[in-house]
Amino acid sequence: MNDINDWSEEESSSDDNDQYDNPPQTRPKKASIPTVLQAGFDSYFLHQGKLAKTSPTVFSTQVEPLSAEEYADAIKSASEKYNLTYPASSAIQESLAHQFRRFLLELEQGFNLLFYGYGSKRALLNRFATEVCSKRGHVIVLNGSQPKASIKDLLTAIEAIPVVQKFIESTDAPTGSSNEPQLARIRACFSSSDVKPLFLLIHNIDSPNLRSPKVKSKLATLASHTRIHLIASIDHVNAPLLWTSTECSTRKRENIDEESLSYHVPGFSWLWHDLTTMAPYDFELAHADRSSYAGASGNARTGRGGSTGLATGNTVMSESAAQHILAAVTQKAKKMFKLMATKQLAVMEDGEGKAQDDFESYGTSYDTLFTSVRDNFIATNDTAMKTLLGEFRDHNLIVGTGTGGAEILWIPMRRERLSKVVKGLDVE
């Protein structure tokens, strides 16, 4: 009995240990099979259909943009503090200045020069015109980067040269103030060997004001003359697309009279030169509106209806420009502007969620504005109202879309700048 009991206890204990040391194997769970399988395109559309989470915090609503005066002061203080003298740019320009004799030789051989490269080329080309070209003939400079630069200004400046004026008065030159008679008079004047050649320096010939086919045709008419030398610079990456291969390579021809000019295809006869100076574009961007994040591009955000820019295609007005315009108008016009600006500011205060440059959404209808103007004894009839608006429309300080009483009018200025302008009127 004792042996049996001892054996059973040992056997049972060993069985227990075996069960503890070697637990029973569990069956692996079967993977659940989905009832519906998604194809690749289903997964793609399911992923793309999710809304993107965008933060409502916009940089333009948090940081107030700089005005032109504030920008100039900031640049000046930074230059004085950090001694920004651009030594690399100065060294590069001095090395490029040694090529002036080569540039002049190419001009005298019947080519026109086109300069490209990173950095402002204005200072170096002005130096070339002053030190070299002015000693060989007459020099006219056109700053194409300025908003009001036009081919009319260029032709008028050429005709203002005393030699050209004397030629026009002493000969039976074509009369008229349009561009075609001006071109004919200029070409006829410089065809004479007694007159020194003309050097035309155009900064940023790829500017929007000089890109139209009519302007290019008139510039080509000047550039194709053997005694008129064109020197130009470009900065836009797509500027070479402005001219066809024929326009770029057509050489100048001598002894082309005005009658056969219509049969001659004018061209520019460009020679391309890399003029990388690494100089800042301070002068080229001086006209940029610092109160708008559109900046130098000159394009405002899309307005209501999906149109590109403002409804009239105008850029955002700066604070200094508005002050200059208001200083030249009558007191009634100032009162009307202040009334309209106050209404627009009130709407802007309520529309916090809208884009600050979507000015059309803050506009006032013509009928509503006329009622307020009449109630405040500023204008008593529709004719007087349109007269007051005319001065502001001409300078794009008030723009609108639509016709008649349904026209929507607004001031293309950001809220911060418009508030400062209204406060300036209150002080007056």
Question: At residue 327, does pLDDT exceed 60?
Answer: yes
pLDDT tens digits for 331-340? 888 899 999 9
Pair (215, 103) in one structural domain: yes
- Judged by average pLDDT, the poorest of 27-36, 129-138, 173-182, 328-337 is 27-36
**238 and 331 part of one domain:** no
- Same domain for 103 and 175, yes or no, is yes
Mean pLDDT over residues 409-422, rounded? 86
Parent domain of 310: 300-427
Tokens 């349904």 belong to residue: 406
Q: How confident is the model at residue 10 (pLDDT cuts 50, 70, 90)?
A: very low
Kindly report the pTM of this predicted structure. 0.56
Helix (H, G, I), strand (E, B) or coil at 45: helix
Q: Which CA distances in Å does 326 have to 322, 370, 398, 414?
A: 6, 20, 12, 17
Give the whole-angstrom CA distance, residue 157 versus residue 151. 10
DSSP 8-state secondary structure symbol assigned to residue 294: T
149 part of a folded domain:
yes
Report the C-alpha gap between 329 and 325 in whole angstroms.
7
pLDDT higher at 70 or 309: 70
Closest CA to 121 of 231, 31, 218: 231
**83-100 mean pLDDT:** 74
Of the three residues 256, 274, 292, the one that is the final residue of a domain is 274
CA pair distance 7, 11, nearest whole angstrom: 6
Mean pLDDT of the chain: 77
Which pLDDT value is given to residue 150? Answer: 87
Domain count within the chain: 2
The verdict on 105 and 253 lying in the same domain is yes
Nearest to 70 by CA among 290, 235, 281, 263: 290
pLDDT at 307 over 50: no
pLDDT of 301: 37
- For tokens 């809304």, the residue is 51
Q: Which of 146-160, 218-232, 322-336 tops mean pLDDT?
A: 218-232
Secondary structure (DSSP) of 329-384: S-HHHHHHHHHHHHHHHHHHHH-TTS-TT-GGGG-EEHHHHHHHHHHTTS-SSHHH
Whether 311 has a pLDDT exceeding 90, the answer reads no
- How much is the average pLDDT of 187-204? 91
Give yes or no for residue 168 having a pLDDT over 60. yes
Instruction: Check if the beta carbon of residue 193 is closer than 8 Å to that of residue 165.
Output: no
pLDDT, residue 134, reads 93
The pLDDT score that the predictor gives to residue 32 is 55
- Higher-pLDDT residue of 51 and 107 is 107
117 and 204 together in one domain: yes
Query: Do residue 313 and residue 392 come from a single domain?
Result: yes
Q: What is the mean pLDDT of residues 302-330?
A: 61
